[in-house]
Every structure is written in C-alpha cells, then in structure tokens.
Amino acid sequence: MLNIQTSKLFWASCLALLVTSLSFGIRAGMMNQLGIDFQLNATQLGTITATAFWGFPLAIVVGGFIVDIIGMKRLLVMAFIFHLAGIALTIFAQGYWTLFFSTLLIGIANGTVEAACNPLVATLYPENKTTRLNYFHLWFPGGIVIGTLLVTLFVHLGIGWQVQVAMMLIPTLIYGYLFSKLEFPVTERVSSGYSSSDMYKAVLSPLFIFMFICMFGTAITELFTGQWIGLLLKNVTDNAILLLTLTTGIMVIGRAFAKPIVKQLSPQGVLLMSAILAATGLYMLSTFSGNSIFFAAVVFGIGVCYFWPTMIGFVAENIPKSGALGLNLIGGAGMFAVSIYTIFMGSFYDGLIINRLPEGAVLDTYVKAPEGSVEAGALGAAKNLAGPEVLQVTLIIPVVLIIAFTGLVLYMRSRKAKLAIA
C-alpha cells in the first residue's frame, strides 16, 4: 500500500517550481549586466533568453509522452540533475556559448518540473484542479518577485550575478531531497482507466486544438513581456526591473485568491476577463510614462495572472482523457511560442534601434561605446523609443484572445445547455 503524503508532495512541487521561476526572475534582472560583461547585443541576448523557452517545450512534451510509463518521481529526479548542471554552468559562464547551453539546460529542467508536477497536482486534487493549479502556479510569479528583489538588493550591495544565480542552489537541493524520500501516486489518466488511444483522440479533438493555439497567445502575452520588461522600459523608468516585481507580485496575490473567482466566473470566464485586462495593461505600459507606468503594471499583472494555470486547469477539467500528455502539450505550446517570438522580437528590436540611430550606424559600435559618450547617449535615446513600440506590436495578441475567449464562453454555455437538456 502506497503512503501518499498529499501536502508534502504539493509543497515539494511548489519548491521545484520556485527554482524554475527564480531562473526567470534572476535572468530578467541580470540580462543588461550580461550584455555589458560579455558585450552582447539584443539579438544575442534574445537568443540566450529563447534557449530557456526551447528547452522547456522539448522537456515538457517528451515528459508528457513518458510520464505515465516511467512515473512522476523519476522525471523529477531528472529535473533535479538538469537544474544542478544548468546552474553550475551559468555560474562559471565564459561568454555567449556557455550562457546559451547553461540556459538551455535550465530550460530543460524547468520543463521537466512542469511535465511531472502539473499532472501530479491534478492527480492529488481531482475535485479542485483549476484552483489547486492556480495555488501551485502562484510560486512561478512568487519566485520571479523573490528573484528580481534579490537582483535589486545584490546590485545595490555590489554583489555579482554569479552569486545571484548560486542562490538557486538552496531550493534545488531541498526539492531534490524531498522528492527522493516521498512516494508518488500513478497519474490520474492511468488510475481512471483511460487508454492511450483515448488520450490521443482527446488531444486531437477540436476543443483541445483550439486551447493549444490560444496557449501561444496567453504565454507570449505573459512571459515575453515579463522577461523583456526590464530591457524594453529601462529608459522609460529608472525602476524597470521593479515593474516586473510589481506585476508578478500582483500575480501571486491573484492566484492565492483564485478559488472564489474561478467558482464565480468559470475557467473560460476567467480567461476572457484576463485577456481584456492584459490588453488594457499592455496598451497602458506602451503609452504611459513616469509614475503612472506603475498603475499600468498593476492592470497588466491582474490581466496575465490567471492565464497559465487556468489554461491547464480548463484542459484538466473539460478534456480529462487527454491526461498528462494534454496538460504538457498545452505547457509546451506556450513555451515554444514564446521562444520563437522572443528571437523574432530581439532582431525586430535591434532593427527599430538602428532606424533611430544616424544613417549608416553600426549597432555593435554603439553597444560597445563607453558610458557618457555621444554614441551611448544616442543608443539610449533610440532604445527609449523602440521599447514601447515592441509592446505595441505585442498588444495585437491579447486583442485576438479577447475574440477567441468570447467564442469559448459562448461555446461552453451552449454545451452546458445541451448537456442539461440531455
């Protein structure tokens, strides 16, 4: 007889997700410094950031296919090993390629954590999936808040980014120890008796494919903006990284109070409300300046707050036969979309900057120019105009989501009515 300790497994899962999010928060805070230390331009920084988003979908999709076979515990041991390797390689990074591979390893670790923990939480709390997934995923913005505050504090104290990255070793070692000692249940799909063929049919259903495509938009709106906000708005406000802290702080509070909101609005209603607020917040972030930009960050934070866990919760509740594979394909779709979008927008951002520099200017010359020089001043002015423009282009995505989720609300209402008649 298995001795399943539900709350210990849940808290160990939260710690593992905390490491995932610390990697996002700390990296977002040190991107500018990495650019200076290793003389990297926005395209190179965009590619390094994107590797985390490549590793994630690769791991989460492969994990989705094998989690029912090898079990959630073995998957989490693999995540622990990848996290240790990625953190160590980042600390001792020597330049572009070591940063590239260390970020890739951390991305693989992050994806492996979600590949195991999303189905684990859904299995542990079958009657309360969307709410519990919101509680679990509050540790993602929670870790970003902790990470960005650590970066701000360490920069103030003059402590290098290597020490900031090393801080991630503490929760990594704790979650590795906890998971090695605990017993795990089988996944919900296996315990419910749904076959592999039921699972594959479910992930090819029109509703699943619709949610899969919508996940591209919800993930880009939340994660691209979060990762790049410090870089895009650092010339608009002196506290750009604190904008990320504020946005993610709002997300922590919102997810902690998910239960009454999900109950009142239903998962699809929450998604529609989120898209409206995210679009409003993104528009405000791209047009406001001065202290009013912090109000814009609050609106945006409330908007993106419920996207990720509610997308996964909707699939877990309404397409249960898709099992762990369904949950992990949704997560993988989100991260893959962010990786492609980040690379595209990195070069788009460089292009916007070049257009605002003197004719014939070579971007590398301006990036490497000493602080206080004419070139450095021109680069700062160009970035000041280019950052909000990137956000305005991204604004199209949540606007499309408003239309999509309005359709989803109407579809689910008619489906519920048909079931009531039947």
Q: Kindly report, residue by residue over 297-315, the tens digit of the pLDDT.
A: 889 889 999 999 999 999 9
Q: Terminus-to-terminus CA distance in the chain, angstroms? A: 40
- Kindly state the tokens that stand for 194: 């749904």
pLDDT band per the 50, 70, 90 thresholds, residue 276: very high
Tens of pLDDT, residue by residue over 341-391, are 888 888 888 888 888 887 777 777 777 777 777 777 887 777 777 777 888
Cα–Cα dist 160/360, whole Å: 36
Give the contacts of 150 (CB within 8 A, at least 6 positions apart): 25, 26, 29, 164, 167
The CB density around residue 4, as the number of other CB atoms within 10 Å, is 13
Q: Provide the residue type at 210 as one letter.
A: F
Give the contacts of 157 (CB within 8 A, at least 6 positions apart): none
- For the whole prediction, is pTM greater than 0.75? yes
Please tell me whether residue 101 adopts helix, strand or coil conformation.
Answer: helix
Q: What is the DSSP letter of 320?
A: G
pLDDT band per the 50, 70, 90 thresholds, residue 396: very high
Give the contacts of 371 (CB within 8 A, at least 6 positions apart): none
DSSP secondary structure of 324-378: HHHHHHHHHHHHHHHHHHHHHHHHHHHHHHHHTSPTT--HHHHHTSPTTSHHHHH
- Domain residue limits, the chain: 6-421
| One CATH from 3.60.15.10, 1.20.1250.20, 3.10.310.40, 1.20.1510.10 for 6-421 | 1.20.1250.20
By the 8 A CB rule, do 64 and 189 touch?
Answer: no
Tens of pLDDT, residue by residue over 53-88, are 788 888 988 998 898 888 899 999 999 999 999 999
